[in-house]
Amino acid sequence: MTNTAKQHMICETAKRRDNAVALLNSLLDAKAVSERNLAQLHRPDLIKQVTGQNSMDKAIASTRRLIDSFNCVLDDLRRNMSEEDIELIGTLEPSLNAS
């Protein structure tokens, strides 16, 4: 049970991380398109002029931090999780008990 629960947690965390990576790629693409459009229109990014960052920069930075957090969790799961930890998480996350 605990090995299956651990594998389930690793799998779910990796899926969430992969979703965040896909989001990051979409944000980077959208930023490039936005910057290209502004350049073609010869218009400044007004938000960037005021704050020093465009609106996409904060979302990109936040998503990168999220991915780093997922990677840390995955490292901890693979290295340090004891059977007792897994059982405790199982009581907090009912879906793990079904595995």
- Cα 80 to chain centroid distance, Å, stands at 21
Q: What is the pLDDT of residue 62?
A: 97
Q: Is residue 23 part of a domain?
A: yes
Residue range of the domain that includes 23: 2-92
Q: What is the pLDDT of residue 98?
A: 45
Q: Is residue 97 part of a domain?
A: no
Element holding 46 (H helix, E strand):
helix 46-51
Q: Is residue 99 part of a domain?
A: no
Q: Is residue 58 part of a domain?
A: yes
Q: Is residue 50 part of a domain?
A: yes
Instruction: Print pLDDT tens along the chain (99 aa).
Output: 456 777 888 889 999 999 999 999 999 999 999 999 999 999 988 888 898 888 899 999 999 999 999 999 988 887 877 777 766 666 655 555 544
Q: Is residue 27 part of a domain?
A: yes
Predicted model pTM? 0.75
Q: Is residue 98 part of a domain?
A: no
What is the spatial distance between Cα 63 and Cα 20, in angstroms, rounded to a whole number?
A: 7
Q: Is residue 41 part of a domain?
A: yes
Q: Number of structural domains, the chain? A: 1
